[in-house]
Structure 1
Amino acid sequence: MKTPQKQWLEVIGAYQYVLTFLFMGPFFALLVFFLLFTWLWSLSFLYLVWLYLDWDTPNRGGRQGRWMRKWTIWKHQRDYFPIKLLKTAELPADRNYVLGAHPHGIMCTGTFCNFSAVHSSAFCQLFPGLRPRIASLAGLFRLPVLREYLMFKGLCSVSRQSLDFILSQPQLGQAVTILIGGAQEALYAVPGEHYIALRTRKGFVRLALRHGASLVPVYSFGENDIYRFKSFAQNSWQHRCQIAFKRLMGFSPCIFWGRGLFSANSWGLVPFAQPITTVVGCPIHVPQCLKPTEDQVDHYHQLYMKTLEQLFEDHKETYGVPASTHLTFL
């Protein structure tokens, strides 16, 4: 049984992640701009100089802060749902890996907790020697202060320059996690449904082939169940507006809600405490080819889709998904 204090700390742990995800970027961008017109203008000016000098760091491996990845608050966030990591095959540290994480969900909570806050998950014990990173939207690293926060947590830009830099390091064991479905997949984060934006997304396969990195499918059961979600028909004007906004800004505007901060029976932004289990599948070893052909890309892309589908089928009933439910590839 959890004490009231522990329950409250878990709620705070889950809620702070939401607030950071939604508001930290715009808040500090406005703050830096606002301070330029006050007597504290020198603080903003010095930071903007630093930003200019440090602009390319997210594309060169980032700046990891082990101290931040050890924060106790990540453990409270993990225990709130709870979030677990399941290993199904060995991932030796004598090679590099490109992990494809599905589904994106609203805030990719399971992926973050297991592959960024690794000291609160079982990642280091299950996969010793691997150096995990999460590749995130490149635009996030243009926002002041937020970029520093993300890099300290082990995130890097999802740009080609960034991923090529990491996978070209002489030290093996690099494990880059990419949320392949991205903002497109976030539009289908409906509880109980399993839509995967993957059919036309092949850049991660080309990346793996260029570096000879093994492809690893990863599926987080329960990711779509932590919020209630308003979805729109694909031919509706609302959906078309969401797609247009995503193309312009890089992320999708979604209508979602959870429970209240002080009461589980009220409306709010705190996610519902639904279990999330991230299952790491078997690696698909690919040859290194600096200029892969379309036939090679298509072959390993199809193999990845089949492996991901089999991973889902093998574990779905264990984590509460009906036997009649299957993955839907978009």
Structure 2
Amino acid sequence: MLFPPKPFQALCAAYASWYLWDFTSPFRGGWKVSWFRRLKWYQYCASYNSFKCIKEDLPALKAASSSGPLMFGCHPHGVMCASVFHTFGFDHSESIQSCLPNVTFRVMTIKATFFVPLWREFTQCLGFIDASRSSASEAFKKGHSVAIVPGGAAEALLGEHNSPALILNKRKGFCKLAIQSEIEGLVPCFSFGENEMFDHISTKSPIVNIPRKIMKNVAGVTMPLLYNIVPKRRPLRMVVGKPILLKDLEKTTEDEKIVELHTLYVEELKALYNRHKDDMGYGELNIVQ
């Protein structure tokens, strides 16, 4: 058989047409499919790691979300961002959607995601959008709340167990985006157990690091070297903190507000971590960059 059967050709042509028609959606605020986010399968996935979402101040979250969009900063990145999927992408009993049913969530991820056929549709059904300023701005304009992982691909390579290392000091762009978008507030979130799902092979060899750095710069993503491919069954806890309301900022100029918001955010994230680290068996939090 020289050519695929005609039904397959028709299916490919239909998907290609859809792909081209929908190509810009993840860069313009995205879309989601509510019933897809509620599939029972995601509850089973949550039970694999006994996932729990801990809301430190749910009344404050409800009050802030009713006044305007929120930005949720999630740490650490880890290999899979499993807690981000469970908290903001899926809609099951432990997700934040169950507590904030009237909030529409968008999750920012790398642009490369939306060039992979079928995977792009899967992530869009869950509400994922491109991790760009323009896409997030469109989402905020539509009244959606957005989850972002400020540490990005570089943080995924760290993966320390029980004493997590974050890339945060030099990451102020998300604070600038929050202020320029005039959203209601910024919410710190920390995932205990994210790094413990995988064991990293630690190496400083340029044979490994140089190609990995090139891949990160070109594609915006890189994979750490792992001992295990299947994630370990470790307890996974996403702690969602109290919103930092932008209307409470004291500075006047935009640059001053960015610095103030970033400082408050780092302080709140550290305080949140310290309140839960003993219960989770964690050591000190390290902000390395």
Q: What SS does structure 1 have at the residue aligned with 2:77?
A: coil
Output aligned runs, 1:27-106, within 5 Å.
38-39=4-5, 40-89=8-57, 90-91=60-61, 92=63, 93-106=66-79
TM-score (norm 2): 0.88
2:106 to 133, 147, 155: 133
2:198 alignment counterpart = 227
Q: Quote the Cα distance in structure 1 between the aligned partners of 2:172 and 2:50.
A: 32
1:272 alignment counterpart = 232
Q: Quote the Cα distance in structure 2 between the aligned partners of 1:288 and 1:207.
A: 17
1:204 to 174, 199, 203: 174
2:286 alignment counterpart = 327
Q: Quote the Cα distance in structure 2 between the aligned partners of 1:127 and 1:219.
A: 19
The Cα of 1:328 is off from its aligned counterpart by: 2.4
TM-score (norm 1): 0.78
The C-alpha deviation readout for 1:159-214, integer Å capped at 9, x for no partner, is 22211111012xx4x32100111111100013223111112212211111012221
The Cα of 1:283 is off from its aligned counterpart by: 1.0
Higher relative contact order (CA 8 A, sep 6+): 2
Q: Quote the Cα distance in structure 2 between the aligned partners of 1:329 and 1:62.
A: 33
2:227 alignment counterpart = 257
Q: Quote the Cα distance in structure 2 between the aligned partners of 1:44 and 1:140.
A: 20
Q: Quote the Cα distance in structure 1 between the aligned partners of 2:148 and 2:85.
A: 11
Q: Quote the Cα distance in structure 1 between the aligned partners of 2:116 and 2:206.
A: 32
Q: Which residue identity is paired with 1:148?
A: E
Q: Quote the Cα distance in structure 1 between the aligned partners of 2:70 and 2:210.
A: 36
Which segments of 5 or more consecutive residues in structure 2 lack a partner in the other structure? none
2:256 alignment counterpart = 295
Q: Which residue identity is paired with 1:202?
A: K
2:187 alignment counterpart = 216
2:116 alignment counterpart = 143
CA contact (8 A) 1:88 1:280 kept: yes
CA contact (8 A) 2:169 2:287 kept: no
CA contact (8 A) 2:79 2:223 kept: no
Q: Quote the Cα distance in structure 2 between the aligned partners of 1:319 and 1:227.
A: 17
CA contact (8 A) 1:64 1:154 kept: yes
1:5 alignment counterpart = none
Quickly say closer, same or farther: Cα 1:257–1:72, change in 2 above 3 A.
farther
CA contact (8 A) 1:140 1:147 kept: yes
The C-alpha deviation readout for 1:2-55, integer Å capped at 9, x for no partner, is xxxxxxxxxxxxxxxxxxxxxxxxxxxxxxxxxx96344343233222211211
Which segments of 5 or more consecutive residues in structure 1 lack a partner in the other structure? 1-35, 259-268
CA contact (8 A) 1:70 1:120 kept: no
Quickly say closer, same or farther: Cα 1:176–1:244, change in 2 above 3 A.
same
Q: Quote the Cα distance in structure 1 between the aligned partners of 2:75 and 2:285.
A: 14
CA contact (8 A) 2:53 2:87 kept: yes
Runs of 4+ in 1 over 4 A off after TM superposition: none
Q: Quote the Cα distance in structure 2 between the aligned partners of 1:67 and 1:327.
A: 39
CA contact (8 A) 1:85 1:121 kept: yes
Q: Which residue identity is paired with 1:195?
A: A
Give the count of matched residue pairs: 278
The Cα of 1:281 is off from its aligned counterpart by: 0.9
The Cα of 1:327 is off from its aligned counterpart by: 2.6
Q: What SS does structure 2 have at the residue aligned with 1:176?
A: strand
1:189 alignment counterpart = 159
Compute the RMSD of aligned alpha carbons.
2.3
1:286 alignment counterpart = 246
The Cα of 1:319 is off from its aligned counterpart by: 1.0
Q: What SS does structure 2 have at the residue aligned with 1:257?
A: coil
